[in-house]
Amino acid sequence: MKKTIICAFVVLQATFTWAQQAIFGAKAVVSPEIHEDKSVTFKIKDSLANTIAIVGDWLPRNGYAVEPAKMTKNEEGVWTYTSTPLTSDLHTYQIKVDGLITTDPSNPFVVRDVATLYNMFIVPGGNANEYLVQNVLHGTVSKRWYKSTGLDMQRRLSVYTPAGYENSKENYPVLYLLHGAGGDEDAWLALGRAAQILDNLIAQGKVKPMIVIMPNGNVIQQAAPGEGIKGFYQPQFMMPKTMNGTYEETFNDVMNFVAANYRIKKGKENTAIAGLSMGGYHSLHISRYYPNTFNYVGLFSAATLPTKDKISPVYEHIDETLKKQKNNGYKLYWIGIGKNDFLYKSNQEFKQKLDSLGMKYEYHESDGGHEWTNWRDYLILFLPKLFK
């Protein structure tokens, strides 16, 4: 017992000393360090580890799993790895220390994807310039609670209002932007950089100022994990009732709250809906379930048609409601999918259905698969087409 206490004290003392050195001017480990050629160096100070590797989204994959890249240790116990030049993007990574997956202690910037934490950094020079905070006017991001009578609970959503909204009397068009499975009302802000993209594109005159509503699509949740009355719990990838029609049936609760609390331009010509993966599925079915509500629909790597076990009024008469949507008229039906996306085949089949019904759409095919790299790019492509 005495030895255990002494060991614990030594660990705490070492941690305290390390922290004090960082505060009082000892040379800190810089990680990651982005070089002019867009290669990136990572450093971990750990003299006790036997092996350390980096697991980054730019590395080769074996199926869905990333192949770790080994780091090398110098005489001072600093492990180093330098990547090849990386693409302009928001990149994520983890550190693998003697088989244990963790985060880079020198990089305080982390993001949660479902239940996993990743370090993040941005390599500028291309589309990722739109993910950066630029010297432009900025909109406001707020978290609002609304009453969902259909779900009998208070629920939280995220709202982006453009720069100048608070001081004007102007009405604005509205985009409902939906997340994927495992996400929540924070996903498009944290991983999608939606606020930065909107600020930058609006400032450049490429996108009309708009209100963007980012609801929580998990109908059994009040809010993101840790933000509701259930407190802190392990996030799940697929929750009950997320794709059984309940969300689509109760989406009017979201729209009614927005209409009552924000200065929005009325009419379908001022209303858009888009989403990724599960959110694309919701966008597809919400837009035809309320067939004269949205002039603009965006499906980003969308799940498309329901399986036969999905019994809900929402999923009845799909062809007929799509035809009604077509006959009512819409301005844009936009589909984006990666060539390596596991939903690629189902998207091609859905395109064939639209073709058979004579529904016009705009199709964008990209490299890559089911990933945020594509979804951020799709948002950049989609936003300038709205409300023209």
Which runs of consecutive H residues, i.e. helices, occur in the chain?
2-23, 187-190, 194-203, 246-249, 251-261, 278-289, 318-328, 344-357, 372-382
Please check the confidence at residue 15 and state whether its pLDDT lies above 60: no
For the record, the structure tokens of 376 come out as: 């951020």
Q: Return residue ranges of the chain for CATH 2.60.40.10.
A: 28-124
Please tell me the predicted confidence (pLDDT) of residue 8: 40
Q: For the domain 131-385, what is the CATH superfamily, name and number?
A: Alpha/Beta hydrolase fold, catalytic domain (3.40.50.1820)
Please tell me the predicted confidence (pLDDT) of residue 308: 74
- Band the pLDDT of 25: cuts 50, 70, 90: low
Please tell me the predicted confidence (pLDDT) of residue 218: 94
Percent of the chain at pLDDT above 90? 80
Query: Could you give the CA distance from residue 230 to residue 178 in angstroms, rounded to a whole number?
Result: 23
Which residue would you say has higher pLDDT here, 314 or 2? 314
Length of the chain equals 388
Please tell me the predicted confidence (pLDDT) of residue 20: 43
Please tell me the predicted confidence (pLDDT) of residue 380: 98
Mean of pLDDT over the chain: 91
Please tell me the predicted confidence (pLDDT) of residue 207: 98
Please check the confidence at residue 7 and state whether its pLDDT lies above 80: no
For 331-339, what is the mean pLDDT? 98
Q: Give every strand in the sheet of 362-366, ordered side by side.
A: 140-148, 153-161, 211-215, 174-178, 271-276, 296-300, 332-338, 362-366
Query: Could you give the CA distance from residue 7 to residue 312 in angstroms, rounded to a whole number?
Result: 60
In tens, the pLDDT along 160-190 reads 999 999 999 999 999 999 999 989 999 999 9
For the record, the structure tokens of 180 come out as: 């994927």
Axis-axis angle for helices 318-328, 278-289 (nearest 10): 70
Which residue would you say has higher pLDDT here, 23 or 144? 144
In tens, the pLDDT along 48-98 reads 999 999 999 999 988 778 899 999 999 999 999 999 999 999 999 999 999
Which residue would you say has higher pLDDT here, 121 or 23? 121
- Band the pLDDT of 2: cuts 50, 70, 90: very low
- Band the pLDDT of 268: cuts 50, 70, 90: very high
For 111-115, what is the mean pLDDT? 88
Please check the confidence at residue 1 and state whether its pLDDT lies above 80: no
Please tell me the predicted confidence (pLDDT) of residue 26: 56
- Band the pLDDT of 258: cuts 50, 70, 90: very high
Q: Return residue ranges of the chain for CATH 3.40.50.1820.
A: 131-385
In tens, the pLDDT along 32-46 reads 999 999 999 999 999
Q: For the domain 28-124, what is the CATH superfamily, name and number?
A: Immunoglobulins (2.60.40.10)
Task: Report the alpha-carbon angle 315-316-322, nearest 5.
Answer: 85
